[in-house]
Structure formats: C-alpha cells, structure tokens
C-alpha cells in the first residue's frame, strides 16, 4: 500500500453523507415518479472567475475519484437516514445497493480553465449522478481555489521555493487538502505532516519564537538548535534584535549556517540588511527565508529582494481572498425516457441574475495561435471539428464505475506548470483584468 492509498479519519463512515439533504429527497421523488433511471449528463463549470483572476486551476480531481469510490451507504449510514426520516424505505433499499456505475470525464488535474469550461462531466442515471453533486463541488471548489492562489504565488515567486504553512489557519482536514492543492499549484513543500504522510509532499520546519523564548538567552536557543539539527538548520532571527541575532547565529553555526528566517518587520528592507550582514560575516551561502502574512502581491514586491524562499499560510489556505471557485453542477442533457437507447435532449436553466446555463453534452478544446500559444477556449456540442480534434481537453476519468485515470500528484503538478506556460504572458499579471482566454461556444449538431 502506497501513501496515496492511506486515508485520514473522518467523523462519518463514508463519503455518502458529504451531501445535502435535498439530493436524497430528489432521488426519492424521482424513484417514485419513474424518472430516476433516465440517462443524464451533469457538468461542473463556473460562470465567472474570481474578480481580477486571469485563469483558474483544476484542483481536487484525484480526491473526487477517491470520494466517488467511497460513496457507499453502509448499515450505519442507512440507520441514520431511517432514524431521521430523511427518505422512505424504498429509497433506503435503493441506496443500500448504490455504486456509481456511470462515466466521468473531466479536465485533467492541474489543467487551467475559464468561464464556461466543462471542467467535469458526469454521466449515468439521474439517480446515481445527482447524489454526487455536493461532494464533487465541495472538493473541486475548495481545491481549485487554493491551487489558483498557489499558482499566482508561484508565478510571483519567479522560481524561488514556496513553503505551505497554513495548517493552523484552517480546519485540520481542510489543511491537508489545501497542502495538496498548493503543491499542485507550484509550492515545493509543506509544514503539515499529515499532508506529507497522505500525499508524499516534502515536509520542512525547524523552530518558532517559542523555542527562543524558552531559553534565558537567544544564544542558548541557537546553540541548542544547531547542536540538535546541525549547522545547515534555519534559525529564526527576529525574536529580539535582528542584527544581533544574525551575528550570534553565524558565530555559533559558522558560514555553514543553512538559513535564517525573518517573520516580521519591513521584509524588503530587513532582507537587504540581513543579506549584507551575512555576506560581511562570511556566510555568503546562507539563505534568507521570509514569512509573515504573505500573499502573491507581497511576494511580487519582494522580487528584487535577496530572498531565497517564502513561507505562506493564511492567504494561501483561504484562496488569497477567494476561498471558493464558484463552480456549479448542472443537468445539461437527459433522455426523454428510461429506455437505454433513448436519445439525449439538451436542458438548461433560464433565469435572471446571471444564473443561466448552456444545455447539451459538451466537449472543450484549446485553440492555439501560429506560435503555439493558447488563444481561445472553445466549448461546443455535437461533433468536434477536425481542426480541434487534437486539442481536446476532457479525458476519461471513470468508465462504467471504475476509475481509469488515477495518477501521481507530481504528474498533475507538472501538467499545471506546462499549462500555465502555454498561456499568453499576461496570464501571470497580478493586476486586475479579464480572463486571459475568451470562451467561444460552437454548435456542430446533436448534443447527445
């Protein structure tokens, strides 16, 4: 068993209860009305990107596949539903045998997306597909928001390492998912051991201010840390006086001192002063790590500073101001009858307030310009035009209820780096602007 197969404890026995009450009452009504077995197509998409963002990042696909596999109504879950009278006995009997047996297609994890992109397509009977709405959205909305923030921070860092250290700023299990999404988006390590255990992400960490305050003198704290962890450790130098701390750190560890960490003050000014001091003391290879409520804008402002790595917490795990990707899960096509061969008909919500949707089973492709740079996200129904056949974005994730596209997290991480690099240069600008690619809708025939 690999680390990717190891789970973390949760307070419910399966993912089946990571859902909303009305999913089950819709199922009950559909079963009674004879429509639960109709072939249906649901799609996940977002109508808009968060204000000012140029692109989105697909995060959480691997976790969705795990959740679908573990969506089971065991005896304890059924007993809970029966006790609360959530649904009737015929529905409970149907749920007891529930196994998703349909197909799921989607943008591969790490790919970028835009408004209207069919990020995930779930096909099967209405009954089996409708139950997955909440758990799929909860994973994709959270992980995609974190991955997008991480991607922006990685762009701003310009290749310098980023450490995810936000576990103490969010729910303990959300912290693990956030660390995974951050690594996908370009972070290099995490402080969260549970994330390292679950997803094999490199973990790092040395000491906090409490360790320095424990000792009578800062020198004693530094000496203890070097004696225990070696000269290449990272010493935290802003508990008292930074200049004195740097001098003491080099006296104790010598020029072999690995790093110093700065966690407060004017980071731009302090980093320059510390770099100069380290060089004068002969510690030219000692690196500087900065932390302290960083976001992508703060990281970008330090681009000219002698900083070697960044540690980011609160702003990362909260999506840097946008904690959700605002994705929705909508029925876009369904059969007119329950017959297996009944053709699909497009369906769409029509309402005011910007909550309309586009009906039909969709495909997506990314059109490139003459230089190989992406220039448009093309979303369509019907046959895929020959000119776009080799640029299709959706891949098969689940076939007949079986996962067929599980992959290492590093594969998704590498995919994202490639996808971001293939976007126009303006994609990495932090200034407010429209999505870097327009979404074009085409209809080439039947959407079934």
Structure confidence by residue, pLDDT tens digits, 80-124 = 999 999 999 999 999 999 999 999 999 999 999 999 999 999 999
* Dist CA 431 CA 51 (whole Å): 11
* Dist CA 356 CA 441 (whole Å): 14
**Mean pLDDT, residues 154-161 taken together:** 97
Q: pLDDT tens digits for 226-241? A: 999 999 999 999 999 9
Give the CA count within 13 Å in the CB-facing half-sphere of 179: 31
**Mean pLDDT, residues 23-43 taken together:** 97
Q: For 114-191, list the strands marked E by DSSP.
A: 120-125, 162-164, 189-190
Provide the mean pLDDT of the chain. Answer: 94
**Which three-class secondary structure state does DSSP give residue 256?**
helix
Confidence of residue 444 (pLDDT cuts 50, 70, 90): confident
* Dist CA 249 CA 321 (whole Å): 37
- Per-residue confidence (pLDDT) for residue 1, from 0 to 100: 42
Length of the chain: 448
The DSSP code for 406 is -
**Mean pLDDT, residues 351-369 taken together:** 86
Q: Say yes or no to pLDDT of 333 above 90.
A: yes
Confidence of residue 57 (pLDDT cuts 50, 70, 90): very high
User: Percentage of residues in the chain with pLDDT exceeding 70?
Assistant: 96
**Which three-class secondary structure state does DSSP give residue 82?**
helix
Q: Say yes or no to pLDDT of 3 above 80.
A: no
Q: For 284-353, list the strands marked E by DSSP.
A: 287-290, 309-312, 327-335, 344-346
- Per-residue confidence (pLDDT) for residue 217, from 0 to 100: 98
Sign of CA dihedral 214, 218, 221, 224: negative
> Pairing between strand 344-346 and 234-236?
unpaired
**Mean pLDDT, residues 216-220 taken together:** 98
């Amino acid at each position: 068993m690999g680390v990717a197969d190891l789970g973390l404890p949760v307070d419910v026995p399966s993912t089946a209860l990571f859902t909303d009450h009305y999913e089950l009452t819709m199922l009950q009504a559909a079963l009674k009305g004879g429509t639960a077995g109709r072939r249906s197509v649901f799609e996940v998409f977002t109508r808009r990107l968060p204000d000012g963002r140029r692109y989105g990042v697909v995060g959480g696909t691997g976790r969705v596949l795990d959740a679908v596999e573990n969506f089971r109504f065991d005896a304890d879950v059924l007993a809970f539903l029966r006790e609360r009278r959530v649904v009737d006995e015929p529905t409970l009997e149907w749920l007891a045998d529930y196994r998703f047996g349909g197909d799921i297609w989607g943008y591969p994890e790490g790919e970028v997306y835009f408004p209207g992109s069919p990020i995930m397509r779930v096909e099967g009977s209405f009954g089996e597909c409708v139950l997955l709405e909440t758990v799929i959205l909860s994973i994709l909305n959270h992980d995609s928001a974190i991955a997008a923030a991480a991607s922006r921070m990685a762009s701003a860092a310009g290749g310098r390492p980023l450490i995810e250290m936000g576990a103490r700023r969010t729910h303990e299990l959300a912290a693990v998912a956030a660390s995974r999404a951050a690594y996908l988006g370009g972070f290099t390590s995490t402080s969260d051991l549970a994330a390292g255990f679950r997803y094999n992400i490199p973990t790092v960490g040395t000491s906090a201010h409490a360790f320095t305050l424990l000792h009578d003198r800062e020198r004693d704290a530094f000496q203890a840390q070097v004696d225990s962890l070696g000269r290449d450790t990272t010493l935290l130098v802003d508990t008292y006086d930074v200049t004195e701390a740097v001098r003491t750190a080099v006296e104790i560890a010598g020029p072999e001192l690995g790093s110093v960490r700065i966690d407060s003050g004017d980071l731009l000014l302090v980093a320059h002063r510390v770099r100069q001091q380290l060089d004068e003391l002969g510690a030219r290879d000692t690196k500087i790590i900065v932390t302290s409520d960083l976001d992508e804008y703060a990281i970008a402002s330090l681009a000219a500073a002698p900083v070697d790595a960044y540690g980011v917490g609160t702003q990362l795990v909260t999506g840097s101001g946008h904690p959700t990707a605002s994705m929705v899960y909508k029925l876009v096509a369904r059969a007119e009858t329950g017959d297996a061969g009944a053709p699909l008909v497009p369906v769409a919500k029509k309402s005011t307030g910007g909550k309309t949707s586009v009906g039909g089973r969709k495909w997506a492709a990314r059109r490139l310009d003459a230089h190989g740079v992406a220039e448009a996200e093309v979303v369509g129904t019907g046959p895929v035009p020959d000119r776009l056949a080799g640029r299709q974005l959706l891949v098969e994730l689940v076939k007949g209820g079986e996962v067929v596209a599980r992959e290492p997290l590093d594969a998704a991480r590498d995919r994202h780096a490639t996808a971001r690099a293939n976007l126009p240069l303006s994609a990495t600008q932090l200034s407010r602007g429209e999505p870097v690619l327009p979404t074009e809708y085409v209809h080439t025939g039947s959407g079934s």
